[in-house]
Amino acid sequence: MKPSLLILVLILSSAAAQAIDSRQFANPEQQAVYETLTSELRCLVCQNQTIADSNAELAADLRRQVYEMLQQGKSRDDIVQFMTDRYGDFVLYKPPFKAKTGLLWLGPVVFLLLGLIAVLLVVRRKKQAAAQENGQAEKLAKIRRLLDEGEVS
């Protein structure tokens, strides 16, 4: 197999790499909630995988827990509350916005603003330098002209 083809196959298959459980749902909405929830909850053993992706035993147990709670008619919020009561905010891939997580949520915006300010400052300084150079060039031209005129008269 050509290397490029092999890479393509690997990339495509990675999208399908999910832990597989066979679960029956009452309706498609319930299944959708199950799928979004399991892909928003962190597997605490592997930490950088969601419980939908992970094959760890704890992830399987938590998927079962989510499924059972959905079957009991619990809402999405109930399940999120259940998980954070036990594992803390860390279990959520999307942590809630509060004082403790403020830096996490606002950090990127702050850095973007800092970057914009830096760009503005640099651009302004460059412009000023260019304007100054222009001014000097004009002065030089004027001096030359005056000198030339002086020679004539």
Partner 1 sequence: MLKYILPLLLFIIMAVFLAIGLNLNPHDIPSPLLNKPAPVFFAPKLQTPQEKLSPDDLKGQVWLFNVWASWCVSCREEHPVLNQLAQQKTVTIIGLNYKDDPAAANNWLDTLGNPYNISIMDQDGRIGIDWGVYGVPETFVIDKQGRVRYKHTGPVTVADVQQTFLPLIAQLQGE
Could you say which of 58, 71, 76, 95 contacts partner 1 (CB under 8 A)? 58
For residue 87, state whether it binds partner 1 (rule: CB under 8 A): yes
Beta bridge partners of 41: 92
For residue 71, state whether it binds partner 1 (rule: CB under 8 A): no
DSSP state of 43: P
For the record, the structure tokens of 71 come out as 């079957």
- Cα 33 to the center of its chain, rounded Å: 22
**Least distance CB 32 / partner 1 (angstroms):** 23
Nearer to partner 1, 33 or 54 (CB): 54
Per-residue binder mask for partner 1 (CB under 8 A), 19-38, x = binder: --------------------
The closest of 9, 96, 90 to 50, measured between CA atoms, is 90
Could you say which of 30, 31, 65, 71 contacts partner 1 (CB under 8 A)? 65
The closest of 49, 44, 34, 51 to 89, measured between CA atoms, is 44
